[in-house]
Structure 1
């Protein structure tokens, strides 16, 4: 079922101040004013519970906090000016961000709005008699837990609130962790199993519980010098991962990049995702965020280009090089997929519109693509589109090739438009109304490969069961066999598993959480030397602190901010 949004404002009136933690709402009578059935009203009440997810997962919100803060992504001032934004992306990468960072503030605000809408639905759905209301109530309560889980992971706080008129109780550390686990367990019996990845299901809750238990050592003692992973917690990770794998509802995809394609909503590897289909007004911008301003992925849209955003760090790239030397990392089909034959055969310079697809994965070196002159794409005599070497024409640097380099840093030379290997993991949508900003690929929150890798990690951490962990990792690797799968590994330990998570899950907004759990977040990488363990969580936005100032002692800022 698709939960459409056009009637939302006639169903639920929401009073919310961005950054405020009081979460007060005004709920309208859903049926009397509109004449809707209880089923229609229930659909309208649950829809806004999910509607903040696309905003949270926008490229400049959650992605920034989970990826640019790590060794996977870096975003310098491009050409000395673009993406400057008062230095917020540099500060995020160097762990010098502050409580006034606008990306942190907007991420916090959208999560709080999702939390607020969940509470509204929890209080309203019990008044409806349609059978769907029971399922939706479980989803709303589960989504309240999920939004709180995001807050807990990033900011160290959870807001406990049931009554719309009450002030939230703030939970931290073990108390917050126990609350989240109990909430997910409470809703699981009433959730559906086959409604697709865009809604909270039993499988999604099992996966989120596995993620909570896997990170429980971190969440119970956030700033510990090292983490002690309790065997009982690791048993729970295995238990919930086993449930998902044994359910038979999900399967690993042979084509790695189809997992991130425009039609991925029906890909059976997805367990929980941000529904971005066109009729739901999705605005996935992950496809254009990293690539060049002179890469135009869709012939029908001569104004749809990249934005020269973040690239991968040389440190992250070298993990691939080290793993596969002396072979090129492209032997792993997760690293790169060539779609334009001109890269291997320079004579293939004319491509039919239906056959034009830019390459995917990690893009290196000279880029080829549609050649745009005076706002239109050049064509060959046979009417096909001309493809050739690209230059930075849109940047007024027509002699600078779009030739992505490994080196990228905050120097003038390292911040040029061509620096850094780029990532094109998600696919541009050919049906987008703009060709650029409104991608239709669901943004993944949980997928089956992560379940196998979490189970492998739990087995390693509990009793050093390297053989079982190796089997799980190799199951994932062997599944990527559209062409030649990556070679099977012959040994397994925690460092290799961390590396494997980086190969499988890059750009999927789990890297910061992974680095903290593996004890690597205080490490040194490209342009980052800060070793302050207090940076494992982010500052609560100053606007939220100020908004709660009328309640002395209610909302305490995190240490070091």
Structure 2
């Protein structure tokens, strides 16, 4: 844990509010839950404050408030429904074909996993609001670090040189937030550091967002730290390349354009950055994934710590939730023996991806003994297979420091995804090398101790989609992947409980984006509802 972004630990809880929150959030019509402020001019008398405020932008990915795991800094939004990684996991994974949440009285989960959501869903409001808060915090930082501001404070040259990197990181975090809003909602309230405070924000549609994000990421490339050279938990050039690669891979969905060649280019840049696959697949999902061999593979994490950044984020949810109701296997993964009593299981279609040649694959952590594969009743926690992918155990035999709040960082981006994107973009006509693509796929198979080597005839788009699920399940990618393959909406691929049918039914096309939350519509007259809702 020693190498984690220490700012999360030392000041992460307070730095979300050491900036003037009313100023930094009004530009996106976000209502803070706490009016405690420190005047920016006083704050920035200490040059160390610039790094602290930058930490607040990162902290918004992991933390929800200043008073512990249950607190929320967003008015009328519960902490459990607005932690960035958790709501990202729910919107990308729970709504697709991999995960089932047993406790459907938890606000918003029933509607998401049965694909019957409305604009009243609190999880959608949490995602929309949390992403916009990231943007607002970044905008505030950029306003406070202009040349005029730095000149007026007589900021030293050494600090100014650091602020160049800090500003690039803030712009990257803002671009990433807009990227997720573009993907999930198809539009966003738009503001940058030049937008007047208290102005009613304009709204950017997908094409405008795509153009803005792309131009921002290209513009800041030279100011970002080189891949793998920044402090752990902070972004570098490779994170920018990753967002671009994912945008280009999905560009036909977003803007109706083929950008697969550009995806290949960004993947090549990441691969050239010195990353390597973890020695063991499961190292990526353990409590010491910030120091074990996963440190070579994870491109960008959402940091988690069992003491100083306690939160109900994705790894805490998945590790506690995956403990089986029958197995009571929590002690094996470093949490309470009963965990959360069987909160999470997997859907049949996902489990079947590990049949045959994948039964002994290291990525297969399914536990199926004494369990039927089908889930006829979502509330019956004894049905459906469980999974033990994420763990609060360490690679050296120890455990995280807390038995509820885990030390396991969430691997938002990692090299395995880059290998899979390269292969898919190649198959879709983006260029690159077939030999290289096949080599990347076999590297994943070899790492998983799967003895069956792939040949060129095995390398098809359908195989890539299945392999993405085997490799990247529960990492907040699946909905996006299914949409890109035209298998999320419509009825050409159904899964258990899709569309609220036990065997799955077709979804209308408009559900490829989520509705704009009603509370967000009410706060901005320029914002309109997505078609079909």
Fold in common (TM above 0.5):
yes
Show CA shifts across 1:484-521 (max 9, x none).
34522222110011011011001101000000001111
1:184 is displaced (CA, Å) by 1.0
Q: Does 1:545 align with 2:521?
A: yes
> Between Structure 1 and Structure 2, whose CA radius of gyration is higher?
1
1:408 is displaced (CA, Å) by 1.1
- Show the counterpart of 1:452: 419
Q: Does 1:287 align with 2:319?
A: yes
1:195 is displaced (CA, Å) by 1.4
The 3 A distance-change label for structure 1 pair 41 and 97 is same
1:11 is displaced (CA, Å) by 3.0
Match of 1:188 among 218, 221, 227: 221
Computed over aligned residues only, the root mean square deviation of the Cα atoms, in angstroms, reads 2.8
- Show the counterpart of 2:392: 428
Q: Does 1:83 align with 2:104?
A: yes
TM-score, with length taken from structure 1: 0.77
1:559 is displaced (CA, Å) by 1.2
- Show the counterpart of 2:163: 133
Match of 1:32 among 21, 35, 42: 42
Distance in 2, matches of 1:97 and 1:470, equals 39
- Show the counterpart of 1:21: 28
1:524 is displaced (CA, Å) by 1.1
- Show the counterpart of 2:144: 124
The 3 A distance-change label for structure 1 pair 34 and 531 is closer
Aligned residues: 465
The 3 A distance-change label for structure 1 pair 499 and 191 is same
1:91 is displaced (CA, Å) by 2.4
SS in 1 for 2:169: helix
- Show the counterpart of 1:416: 380
* Structure showing the higher helix proportion among its residues: 2
- Show the counterpart of 2:19: 12
> Which deviates further from its counterpart, 47-56 or 257-266?
47-56
Q: Does 1:495 align with 2:516?
A: no
Match of 1:220 among 240, 246, 255: 255
Distance in 2, matches of 1:188 and 1:173, equals 22
CA contact (8 A) 1:331 1:486 kept: no
> Which deviates further from its counterpart, 466-475 or 199-208?
466-475
1:35 is displaced (CA, Å) by 5.5
SS in 1 for 2:145: helix
Match of 2:495 among 522, 525, 528: 525
The 3 A distance-change label for structure 1 pair 16 and 64 is farther
The 3 A distance-change label for structure 1 pair 19 and 96 is farther
Distance in 2, matches of 1:281 and 1:441, equals 11
Match of 1:331 among 352, 360, 364: 360
1:203 is displaced (CA, Å) by 0.8
1:180 is displaced (CA, Å) by 0.8
Distance in 1, matches of 2:508 and 2:144, equals 44
SS in 1 for 2:290: helix
- Show the counterpart of 2:90: 64
Q: Which runs of 5+ in 2 are unaligned?
A: 64-81, 499-504
Show CA shifts across 1:57-110 (max 9, x none).
5675221111111111123xx4xxx43336x43322232111111111112121
TM-score, with length taken from structure 2: 0.80
SS in 1 for 2:296: coil
1:525 is displaced (CA, Å) by 1.1
Distance in 2, matches of 1:33 and 1:493, equals 56
Distance in 1, matches of 2:486 and 2:320, equals 32
Q: Does 1:159 align with 2:169?
A: no
Q: Does 1:305 align with 2:339?
A: yes
> Which deviates further from its counterpart, 239-248 or 286-295?
286-295
CA contact (8 A) 1:122 1:140 kept: yes
Distance in 2, matches of 1:49 and 1:42, equals 11
Distance in 1, matches of 2:414 and 2:278, equals 10
Distance in 1, matches of 2:17 and 2:177, equals 24
Distance in 1, matches of 2:436 and 2:487, equals 24
Q: Does 1:471 align with 2:439?
A: yes
Q: Does 1:199 align with 2:234?
A: yes
CA contact (8 A) 1:273 1:442 kept: yes
Mapping for residues 355-434 of structure 1, pairs under 5 Å: 361-365=365-369, 403-409=370-376, 411=377, 415-428=379-392, 432=400, 434=402
Distance in 2, matches of 1:527 and 1:426, equals 24
The 3 A distance-change label for structure 1 pair 68 and 423 is same
- Show the counterpart of 1:389: none
